[in-house]
Amino acid sequence: VDPVAIDGVDEATRSQVVADLTAAAEALRAQPVEIRLDMLEEGEQRSATVRVDRERGLLEGVLESPTSRGSVITMRHVIVDDRLFLKSTASVEAEAALDFTELPIDPLGPRLLDEVFTAYGRLTPSLDRILLLLENLPFAAQVTDLEGGLEISVVMSPIAIYNYYGSEGIEPVGGSVPEVPTQLAFRIEDGVLVGIVAAGIHFHDGEPLAVEATVAYTQIEPFQLAIPPIDE
């Protein structure tokens, strides 16, 4: 018995929600985007700013995580020319002194190009995965008409997600799942996804996490990136 079982919407509503979100996500990813993230992951603060052009395989992201000692762990990712670079530092001095390290582009690069849209993968590994869950699992929904757009709020059972992942072999899962609903609210303006607000339990690499996140998307002009200084 699923103690967080959801009395799902009817199939007509499901189809409409999935269609609206699919079109909005496709419109978002068709252009260069700036992403701003504020998140609590298991009570730990995270923030990020990312520029990404998924069509051209360009990405420049900064993910910051304050520590209990007052420092900030800063992770910088760059994808350019089918190459992936990382710099992770814990101080201003290290940030200035260290160069980037090159990592294998496959499969890390393509994965990162998707994960930045979903809070670095904390809200599932991609927007497409969210759509897959909405296509296949029960969810409650509230659709609110806004001037020039929509807000679609959905609630799902994390135990249903866990069981679906396990039965379909989508992600390895194990252990227990907190009995806290999975919540997502999508904001669509002029047919484009412009934000997600998330709460409750979400899965990252099969692990259930308590997450609160606000993700804001802004379509931007095309940009160029250069290969960063590399640690030799």
Q: What is the pLDDT of residues 127-185, one digit of tens each?
A: 999 999 999 999 999 999 998 899 999 999 999 999 999 999 999 998 899 999 999 99
The HSE-up count of residue 231 (CA atoms within 13 Å, CB side) is 13
Percentage of the chain with pLDDT > 70? 100
How many Å apart are CA 182 and CA 77, to the nearest integer?
29
pTM of the complete model: 0.95
pLDDT at 175: 86
Place of tokens 């020319």: 81
**What tokens appear for 99 in the block?**
């160069």
Which residue, 224, 190, 199, 197, is CA-closest to 27?
190
Count of helices and strands (H, E) across the chain: 5, 11
How many Å apart are CA 9 and CA 211, to the nearest integer?
24
Write out the E strands in the chain.
Answer: 33-41, 44-53, 58-66, 72-80, 83-89, 101-103, 140-146, 149-156, 182-189, 192-204, 207-219
